[in-house]
């Protein structure tokens, strides 16, 4: 095929990327059936192809002119990029040629029962400042690249065969290298760019051979602070593409913020088009237009791809009409601010939502509809869509006037917060003595992060309770039986600090959102976190308050079942805000203070009820860090203050824990110390304790539980493997500082996986005690 796709129409609507999971999480179902051995690889791939076909048809039907191909992934698009270029560590057994599904999922999930030993999964961390997780590619200094997968080519061919007009999309080479980690010694991964670029060129030529004339290359690294090496890497990469593929139109996307001081660099790159995030970087449009090179196309990201609120279409038209009049519709595209991966698929699936709030929402389907309305209004005039504009405007007016958005008592309490509310009674060294006397724990105390397996029985009981087919009393009796079972098992396993298991909780954020005023929870508002893991972010629409205690009854019941301490389990204020779709009419720090005050009341009530340890999880603290260094101090100031506001109302003898997962801590270690939590548990198993280096350099004074069990992989680590991780930890920390725990909660694993892993973990702790405290 040699005929190139025709030029896009004026003011073409491009979606940039579509949610992969399917309207009813069909991808999750297909993946988990395959992993469990209930379906074949052919059935999995057929299900994936059906999802892609339905997505293209739906986007086109909504009015999208440019459809992405290659945005679909069975697990993660960064992993797909690594597989595409053959960046597969040698221990996974790949020796060249096409990469099979077994290798892909070994990289993603690890292996167990493999001849020669189990393999861990690749390290996982957050995708920029989102709640999406990507797998971190590992590159050696002598890394060799080759075109090992043509998935993006194959998906593009699929779309063409169905009559769609696709624009292939994939991760750019500079961002890919910067997201990767060096192995076998530290070096700058950008040194590998000359070896990587020929593979990208080969991939682009394959796409050209299909008749593709335009591609989308995502380089979100462009919105970060860049050093000169990175700037030169961008120049080299895109000069190479322009030289080797002079007829290919590349649209370069830079999202999650403004280009800032990288604007001149982006405009100087020899590409056909540039995408701007005009939601997070709304002020950059005029600067870009003033310097836009002749003939360059501009993609205007005007609808929020990261949040679920309806766009103000009239305000957007006021802004866009002069731009179209000046520059012409032929040079412009309309798009969301970023890929729609980060929002739910379709608001129409929701039943029973409050009509006022629902009227102010837009999921992926509705966002493309908004773009289509804007396009029609800009090309034909507002009168052509007058009814749609009026309906959208009325929905926004009703939402903004809703009295539930403003609670005078909450606003007054937030305004009254003072410095004394942010401090514990005593500094940590004094608290440590009181807590050790209160808890009497051994060296290397063992615990888990909070949740235990959500078995089919647990899920069925919760669903039946939600449907009203079992009574409140029967459901409570079921939960109490599960708590007793979990407590007894933890006692037999030898854990020192216990948890109740969180069987009543569907999600660590949603559970609290259902109990706090100001939040709304959807039924089908799923987004992908990683692989088959999906979450339903709550919608934070109004002022936040706690009508009554949320966890006290459950925690005190669990504590009544054992003499060992049981942790009270809460989700922290920053994570509640970061993992929700947050209202856009108040500063985020003010919203977070409201949540912190509600949690402060819960912490105090737990302490009053006899709970001696309260864990306030903040896995999203690092994720919320602004991408630009100049903005980070202000964020960390209010984020730390909100955690301290939630946690500081207790006595010295009450131990405050927090948990963080899949984060790079080097640039926030001072803020972590400023949280003043007595104990922090972190993900560390996949990184083989590398994440502890930041705590070591900083001389972190409080206690730390570096994870020794990677719960995102089905494999069971051995006692020796965990002991080795704890030995590394002891090289960097004092033994008295170290707790022993998994990386994260255990809800996604089965009891058959959890029991041997936790048993090994406890035995590893005992081995360390024999070494460091033989008496």
Q: Counting Cβ atoms within 10 Å, is residue 483 exposed (0-12), middle (13-18) or buried (19+)?
A: buried
Q: What would you report as the CA-atom Rg of the chain, rounded to the nearest whole angstrom? A: 26
Tell me if 668 sits within 8 A of 623, measured CB to CB.
no
Interatomic CA distance for residues 48 and 27, integer angstroms: 7
The conformation of residue 192, written as its DSSP 8-state character, comes to G
Interatomic CA distance for residues 643 and 575, integer angstroms: 10
Supply the angle between the helices 552-560 and 472-493 in degrees, to the nearest 10: 50
Tell me if 729 sits within 8 A of 706, measured CB to CB.
yes
Three-class SS of 677-724: CCEEEECCCCCCCCCHHHHHHHCCCCEEEEECCCCCCCCCCCHHHHHH
Interatomic CA distance for residues 85 and 213, integer angstroms: 22
Q: CB-based contacts of 746: which residues, under 8 Å, 6+ apart? A: 448, 449, 451, 452, 453, 711, 754
Bridge partners (DSSP) listed for residue 520: 539
Q: Counting Cβ atoms within 10 Å, is residue 376 exposed (0-12), middle (13-18) or buried (19+)?
A: middle
- The H-or-E segment that residue 167 falls in is strand 166-171
Q: CB-based contacts of 154: which residues, under 8 Å, 6+ apart? A: none
Phi and psi at 569, nearest 5°, equal -120, 120
User: Is 627 strand, coil or helix?
Assistant: coil
The residue behind tokens 């965990």 is 722
Please say if 500 is a catalytic residue.
no
Interatomic CA distance for residues 555 and 548, integer angstroms: 15
The conformation of residue 8, written as its DSSP 8-state character, comes to P
Can you count the helices (H) and strands (E) in the chain? 27, 22
Closest CA to 744 of 610, 576, 555, 617: 617
Torsion of CA 322, 326, 329, 335, to 10 degrees: -50
What's the full length of the chain, in residues? 775
Closest CA to 614 of 500, 768, 759, 737: 500
Q: CB-based contacts of 118: which residues, under 8 Å, 6+ apart? A: 110, 111, 112, 715, 716, 717
Q: CB-based contacts of 35: which residues, under 8 Å, 6+ apart? A: 105, 109, 532
Given 133, 342, 465, 712, the catalytic residue? 712
Q: Which residues are catalytic?
A: 712
């Amino acid at each position: 095929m040699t005929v190139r796709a025709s030029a896009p129409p004026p003011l073409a609507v491009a979606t940039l990327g579509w949610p992969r999971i399917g309207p009813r999480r069909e991808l999750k179902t297909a993946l988990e059936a395959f992993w469990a051995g209930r379906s074949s690889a052919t059935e999995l791939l057929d299900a994936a192809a059906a999802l892609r076909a339905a997505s293209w048809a739906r986007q086109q039907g909504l009015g999208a002119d440019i459809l992405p191909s290659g945005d679909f992934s069975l697990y993660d698009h960064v992993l797909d990029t690594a597989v595409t270029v053959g960046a597969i560590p040698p221990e996974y057994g790949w020796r060249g040629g096409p990469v099979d599904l077994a290798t892909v999922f070994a990289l993603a999930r690890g292996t167990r029962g493999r001849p020669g030993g189990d393999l861990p999964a690749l390290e996982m961390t957050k995708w920029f400042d989102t709640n999406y997780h990507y797998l971190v590619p590992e590159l050696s200094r002598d890394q060799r690249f080759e075109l090992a997968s043509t998935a993006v080519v194959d998906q593009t061919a699929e779309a063409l065969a169905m009559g769609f007009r696709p624009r292939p999309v994939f991760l750019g080479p500079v961002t890919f290298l910067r997201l990767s980690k060096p192995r076998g010694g530290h070096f700058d991964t950008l040194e590998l760019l000359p070896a990587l670029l020929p593979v990208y060129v080969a991939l682009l030529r394959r796409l050209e051979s299909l008749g593709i004339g335009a591609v989308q290359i995502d380089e979100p690294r462009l919105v970060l602070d860049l050093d000169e090496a990175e700037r030169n890497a961008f120049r080299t990469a895109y000069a190479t593409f322009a030289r080797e593929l002079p007829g290919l139109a590349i649209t370069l996307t830079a999202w999650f913020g403004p280009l800032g001081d990288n604007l001149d660099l982006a405009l100087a790159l020899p590409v056909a088009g540039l995408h701007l995030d005009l939601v997070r970087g709304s002020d950059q449009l005029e600067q870009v237009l003033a310097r836009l090179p002749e003939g360059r196309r501009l993609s205007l990201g005007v609808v929020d791809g990261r949040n679920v609120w309806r766009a103000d279409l009239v305000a957007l038209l006021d802004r866009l009409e002069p731009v179209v009049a000046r520059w012409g519709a032929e040079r412009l595209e309309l798009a969301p601010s970023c890929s729609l991966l980060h929002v739910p698929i379709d608001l129409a699936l929701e039943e029973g939502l409050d009509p006022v709030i629902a009227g102010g929402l837009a999921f992926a389907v509705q966002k493309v509809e908004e773009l289509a309305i804007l396009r029609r209004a800009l090309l034909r005039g507002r009168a052509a869509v007058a009814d749609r504009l009026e309906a959208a405007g009325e929905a926004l007016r009703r939402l903004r006037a809703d009295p539930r958005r403003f609670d005078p008592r909450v606003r007054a309490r937030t305004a009254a917060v003072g410095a004394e509310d942010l401090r514990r009674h005593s500094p940590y060294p004094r608290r440590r003595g009181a807590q050790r006397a209160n808890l009497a724990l051994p060296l290397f105390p063992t615990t888990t992060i909070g949740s235990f397996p959500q078995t089919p029985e647990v899920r069925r009981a919760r669903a039946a309770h939600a449907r009203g087919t079992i009574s409140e009393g029967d459901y409570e009796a079921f939960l109490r039986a599960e708590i007793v079972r979990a407590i007894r098992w933890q006692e037999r396993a030898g854990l020192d600090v216990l948890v109740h298991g969180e069987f009543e909780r569907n999600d660590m954020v949603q559970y609290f959102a259902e109990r706090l005023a100001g939040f709304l929870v959807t039924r089908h508002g799923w987004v992908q976190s990683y692989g088959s893991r999906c979450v339903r972010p709550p919608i934070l629409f109004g002022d936040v308050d706690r009508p009554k205690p949320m966890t006290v009854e459950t925690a005190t019941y669990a504590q009544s079942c054992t003499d060992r301490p049981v942790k009270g389990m809460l989700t922290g204020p920053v994570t509640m805000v970061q993992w929700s779709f947050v209202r856009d009419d108040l500063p985020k720090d003010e919203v977070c203070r409201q949540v912190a005050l509600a949690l402060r009341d819960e912490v105090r009530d737990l302490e009053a009820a006899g709970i001696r340890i309260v864990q306030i999880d903040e896995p999203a603290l690092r994720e919320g860090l602004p991408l630009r260094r100049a903005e980070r101090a202000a964020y960390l100031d209010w984020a730390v203050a909100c955690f301290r506001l939630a946690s500081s109302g207790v006595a010295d003898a009450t131990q405050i824990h927090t948990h963080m997962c899949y984060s790079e801590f080097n640039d926030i270690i001072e803020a972590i110390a400023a949280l003043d939590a007595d104990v922090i548990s972190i993900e560390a198993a996949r990184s083989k304790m590398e994440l502890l280096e930041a705590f070591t350099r900083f001389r972190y004074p409080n206690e730390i539980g570096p994870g020794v069990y990677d719960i995102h992989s089905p494999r069971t680590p051995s006692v020796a493997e965990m002991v080795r991780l704890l030995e590394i930890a002891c090289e960097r920390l004092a033994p008295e500082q170290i707790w022993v725990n998994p990386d994260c909660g255990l809800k996604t694993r089965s009891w058959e996986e959890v029991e041997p892993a936790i048993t090994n973990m406890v035995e590893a702790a005992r081995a360390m005690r024999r070494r460091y405290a033989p008496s």
